[in-house]
């Protein structure tokens, strides 16, 4: 954290974010009860398994989601090929990522086929999903994620948090650090935030740094949530909730309600508080 910024300022910034999300959600016709749904990890709220969450997160690398369209027109096809996200059934039917790739692309997906020089989006997606199947089904991955969820009970950030993310990242092709955070937070790791473009801009505006690592942002969000807990500002606060408040403020995308409106720019608000 920026030692020159007091806990009171972190509280003030959070209260500003709360006011903004209240204003935006009200304009979108979303009441407080519906807004609370966004602060619960999707695997928990929708009772989704870890494979389904991975299938959503892993497509968010670059512009890959424009090809994969897991949350759009290709959802039913992908779900069918993944046997309704049944890990054991998938591993019985696919011996490698190439078989999964062929299953995914046999419905006429716009894909140029496997190449020796550069992998296609569907090839990359298939590699990542197959690695995820192996991790979850053969490498005790489900238990590892459940252990990570319990880290939310910790009061202090530790290097073991970073090590855990990097270990999982190294096992799944194309996931990367930020997308690993995205996957795990939606699986129930509420101590995590995804260091995406919106969170990173907020981080830069508060700590006044231009160069930083994803894990710096991850630690920052964890510590900010702990400050708010200790100051008794919000009894339900977590890094996950902070993440969602910032993301909703920046995008205006209330996806659970199929509503999207114009966004407020929170960085200017933070700058005014820190003056």
Q: Nearest CA to 250 among 185, 178, 186, 196?
A: 196
Burial class of 88 by CB neighbour count within 10 A (0 to 12, 13 to 18, 19+): exposed
Average pLDDT over residues 223-228: 96
Task: Give the pLDDT score at 5.
Answer: 83
**Which of residues 95 and 106 earns the better pLDDT score?**
95
Task: Give the pLDDT score at 172.
Answer: 97
User: Among all chains, which residue has been given the structure tokens 């009200």?
Assistant: 26
Task: Give the pLDDT score at 27.
Answer: 85
Task: Give the pLDDT score at 159.
Answer: 92
State pLDDT tens for residues 114-173.
Answer: 666 678 999 999 999 999 999 999 999 999 999 999 988 888 999 999 999 999 999 999
Q: Is pTM, for the whole model, over 0.75?
A: yes
State pLDDT tens for residues 2-47.
Answer: 667 899 999 999 999 999 999 889 888 999 999 999 999 987 766 6
Average pLDDT over residues 226-230: 96
Task: Give the pLDDT score at 61.
Answer: 84
Average pLDDT over residues 218-242: 96
**176, 238 contact by CB (below 8 A):** no
Answer yes or no: is pLDDT of 83 > 80: yes
């Amino acid at each position: 954290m920026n030692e020159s910024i007091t806990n009171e300022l972190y509280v003030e910034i959070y209260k500003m974010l709360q006011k903004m999300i209240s204003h935006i959600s009200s304009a979108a016709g979303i009441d407080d009860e519906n807004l609370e749904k966004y602060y619960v990890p999707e695997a928990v709220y929708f009772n989704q398994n870890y494979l389904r969450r991975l299938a959503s997160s892993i497509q968010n690398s670059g512009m890959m989601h424009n090809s994969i369209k897991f949350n759009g027109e290709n959802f039913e096809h992908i779900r069918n090929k993944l046997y309704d996200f049944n890990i054991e059934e998938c591993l019985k039917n696919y011996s490698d990522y190439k078989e999964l790739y062929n299953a995914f692309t046999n419905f006429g997906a716009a894909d140029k086929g496997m190449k020796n020089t550069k992998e296609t989006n569907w090839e990359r997606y298939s590699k990542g999903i197959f690695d995820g199947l192996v991790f979850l089904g053969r490498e005790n991955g489900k238990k590892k994620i459940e252990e990570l969820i319990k880290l939310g009970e910790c009061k202090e950030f530790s290097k073991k948090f970073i090590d855990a993310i990097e270990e999982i990242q190294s096992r799944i092709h194309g996931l990367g650090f930020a997308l690993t955070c995205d996957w795990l937070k939606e699986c129930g790791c509420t101590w995590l935030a995804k260091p995406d473009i919106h969170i990173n801009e907020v981080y830069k505006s508060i700590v006044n740094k231009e160069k930083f690592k994803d894990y710096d942002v991850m630690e920052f969000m964890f510590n900010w949530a702990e400050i708010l807990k200790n100051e008794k500002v919000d009894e339900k606060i977590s890094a996950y909730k902070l993440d969602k408040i910032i993301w909703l403020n920046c995008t205006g995308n209330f996806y659970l309600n199929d509503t999207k409106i114009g966004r407020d720019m929170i960085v200017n608000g933070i700058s005014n508080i820190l003056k």
